Structure 1
Amino acid sequence: MSDKTPTAKQKRDWLSVVLRSAVSTGILSFLFFKVDWTKITAVVERSNPIDILLGLFFGGVQIFFSAIRWKILLQTQEIFIPAVKAFELTLIGQFFNAFLLGSTGGDIIRIYYIVQLYPQKKAAGSLSVIYDRVIGLLGLILIGQLLALNFFKLFEANPITRHAVWLFLSISLFILLLFGLILFFPNIFYFEKRTKKKSNLLSKQDLNNLVDAISRYRHGKKENFLALCYSFASHASTLIMAYFATRSLHLDIPFLFLASILAIVSVLISIPVSISGLGVREGLIVVFFQLLGIKVEPALSFSLLVFAMSLFWSLIGGIVYLGYKKPKTDDTINR
């Protein structure tokens, strides 16, 4: 029986990868045959390199703000690392997010390194990465909800965008509800019977440490507020990066409308139906841009340019990873 279980799980994992790859490949193939690539080439050739450089700069600013946000959340758990170290590990996480299947590969890497630095605080260190992801998503959701309501009438003009916005709002409300339950009622996730049955996976002490770590975030009102502020700053930097991408391609798109689209799309591509959102992101951007009368080729050029800007910093993260020196477990990291 035990021999069959891993095999069945492996089959399900492979089936998931195949299905998600099929979705990404299908949408990208459809766009590939639909667009006129000579027009895309013409759009790229007219791009402004100064705006691209400014966009790249704000892409780096986004990673910096994300690193400071994580540093604050680590401090809440009495885990103190320098801002430079947080930035370094965030860059490495960015690299693995880009080149591993899914968008959580970088989170796993960050958990691995922070647990290496503080092995006595495995639960707190691991939760800090998960909570950092949640706070980042929370900031994006709040931005998206505010702007989506502002442009709701325009989004209703197309059935696809209308359904996309309603799906985004539904997911957002669910995440906000789940966030509230975990933060303010952590004990409802503690099950004594489950602990006894699966003691080899998660001990009672591990669960107590996890509940204690959650309680630290529940009572850390100042830290939560600061982390949320840095989340807004991080997303604002990403939106500014995207805005410079539109400027470089000479696309006339209002900033707030662009921000609403990107917030909605970013949340929707987190649904694991494709490989890292490939295809789904491009397809949604094309449809949303059509609301402003922007054709497929410029919209796809924009999506590819923003992806390339993000990929640039992922490659920087890869260089940092190659030069990263793993600290010894008994090393002390000063504030």
Structure 2
Amino acid sequence: MSDKSSTAKRKKNWLSIFLRSAVSTGILSFLFFKVDWTKITSVVERSNPIDIVLGIFFGGCQVFFSAVRWKILLQTQEIFIPMFKAFELTLIGQFFNAFLLGSTGGDIVRIYYIVKLYPEKKTAGSLSVIYDRVIGLVGLILIGQLLALNFFKLFEAHPITRHAVWLFFSISLFILFLFGLILFFPNIFSFDKRKKKTISLFSKQNLNNLIDAISRYRYGKKENFMALCYSVISHGSTLIMAYCATRSLHLDIPFLFLASILAIVSVLISIPVTISGLGVREGLIVVFFQLLGIKAEPALSFSLLVFAMSVFWSLVGGIVYLRYKKP
């Protein structure tokens, strides 16, 4: 039975990848035939390289502040690593996030390395990576909700943007509710004596370690606040990077409006409908930009430029990965 179940699971995983790839390919193909690529070439040729370099710099700031946030969360679990090591592993995670299927490949790699460094704190180290991802998402949600309310009437002007904003609010409230439930009611993970046949990965000891690790975050109010602040700073660096892309392409877009769009889109593409959000991200940006009268070609050029800026640091992470001395 175990062989059959594992075979069925593999088939299910491959089917999921195939369907997500098909959705991504379909949306990108639609955009490919809809836009005039000669206009995109013209937009790119007129871009300002100084703003591109500045945007890449702020992209690096985003990675650095994310590393600082993770280091704080590791310290809460009494795992102390040098700042340079945290930055190294964050860059490596950035590399795998960009080039593995899905947006969690880098998290799995970070978990692998931190467990290798601190095998006696396997549960705490693994939770730090997951909690780091959650804190980052919470910071993005808070920025998005505040700004989305400010531009709500404008977003209601188009049916796609209206549905996107309402979906964003629904997902955001659910994530905040779940975050509060796990953080303030950690006993929901308590070991049930009636379930003796729990999978070995979730043995009584491991569950108790998980509850203890969650409790550290629950009572670490100062650490939570600092991590959340660095999350906002990290996302702010990403938004400035994107704003530099609009300046480079000579697009007249207010910074706060751009920030609200990117926050909404970033949360929506976390839904595993496509591969790493490909297609959905580009399609939503095109529609949102239309609210300001910006055509599809400049909007798609912007999306591709921001993606290229992010890929630059992913490539740097790849170089770090090749040179990294594994513990």
TM-score range, shorter chain: over 0.9
Residue pair 1:195, 1:203 contacting (<8 A) in 2 also: no
- Superposed displacement of residue 25, structure 1: 0.2
> Any gaps of 5 or more consecutive residues in structure 2?
none
Do residues 92 (structure 1) and 92 (structure 2) align? Answer: yes
* Partner SS, residue 271 of structure 1: coil
Give the distance between the partners of 1:319 and 1:229, measured in 2 at CA. 29
In structure 1, what is the equivalent of residue 300 of structure 2?
A: 300
Give the distance between the partners of 1:193 and 1:19, measured in 2 at CA. 40
In structure 2, what is the equivalent of residue 176 of structure 1?
A: 176
Residue pair 1:195, 1:204 contacting (<8 A) in 2 also: no
Give the distance between the partners of 2:187 and 2:194, measured in 1 at CA. 14
- Superposed displacement of residue 190, structure 1: 2.3
In structure 2, what is the equivalent of residue 39 of structure 1?
A: 39
* Partner SS, residue 120 of structure 2: helix
Give the distance between the partners of 2:103 and 2:199, measured in 1 at CA. 29
Give the distance between the partners of 1:314 and 1:69, measured in 2 at CA. 19
Give the distance between the partners of 2:144 and 2:3, measured in 1 at CA. 46
Give the distance between the partners of 1:53 and 1:199, measured in 2 at CA. 50
Summarize deviations over 1:90-139 as a string: whole Å, max 9, x none.
00000000000000000000000000000000000000000000000000
In structure 2, what is the equivalent of residue 79 of structure 1?
A: 79
* Matched residues, number: 327
Residue pair 1:59, 1:313 contacting (<8 A) in 2 also: yes
* Partner SS, residue 276 of structure 1: helix
- Change in Cα spacing, 1:4 to 1:265, as seen in structure 2 (3 Å) is same
Residue pair 1:274, 1:280 contacting (<8 A) in 2 also: yes
In structure 1, what is the equivalent of residue 118 of structure 2?
A: 118
Range with bigger deviation, 200-209 or 165-174: 200-209
Do residues 49 (structure 1) and 49 (structure 2) align? Answer: yes
- Change in Cα spacing, 1:97 to 1:194, as seen in structure 2 (3 Å) is farther
* Partner SS, residue 40 of structure 1: helix
Do residues 18 (structure 1) and 18 (structure 2) align? Answer: yes
Give the distance between the partners of 2:30 and 2:250, measured in 1 at CA. 25
- Superposed displacement of residue 201, structure 1: 2.6
* Partner SS, residue 292 of structure 2: coil
| Identity score, percent | 87
Give the distance between the partners of 2:195 and 2:140, measured in 1 at CA. 34
- Superposed displacement of residue 189, structure 1: 2.5
* Partner SS, residue 116 of structure 2: helix
Following TM superposition, the consecutive aligned residue runs of length 4 or more in structure 1 with deviations greater than 4 angstroms are: none
Give the distance between the partners of 2:297 and 2:109, measured in 1 at CA. 36
- Superposed displacement of residue 198, structure 1: 2.0
In structure 1, what is the equivalent of residue 160 of structure 2?
A: 160
Give the distance between the partners of 1:88 and 1:194, measured in 2 at CA. 44
Residue pair 2:191, 2:204 contacting (<8 A) in 1 also: no
> What TM-score comes out, normalization by structure 2 length?
0.99
Residue pair 1:94, 1:314 contacting (<8 A) in 2 also: yes
In structure 1, what is the equivalent of residue 256 of structure 2?
A: 256
- Superposed displacement of residue 2, structure 1: 1.8
> What TM-score comes out, normalization by structure 1 length?
0.97
Residue pair 2:47, 2:248 contacting (<8 A) in 1 also: yes
- Change in Cα spacing, 1:27 to 1:193, as seen in structure 2 (3 Å) is farther
Give the distance between the partners of 1:151 and 1:102, measured in 2 at CA. 30
Residue pair 2:191, 2:208 contacting (<8 A) in 1 also: no
Residue identity opposite 2:109 in structure 1: I
Residue identity opposite 1:320 in structure 2: V
- Change in Cα spacing, 1:194 to 1:318, as seen in structure 2 (3 Å) is farther
> Any gaps of 5 or more consecutive residues in structure 1?
328-335
In structure 1, what is the equivalent of residue 60 of structure 2?
A: 60
- Superposed displacement of residue 191, structure 1: 4.0
Output the aligned Cα RMSD. Answer: 0.8
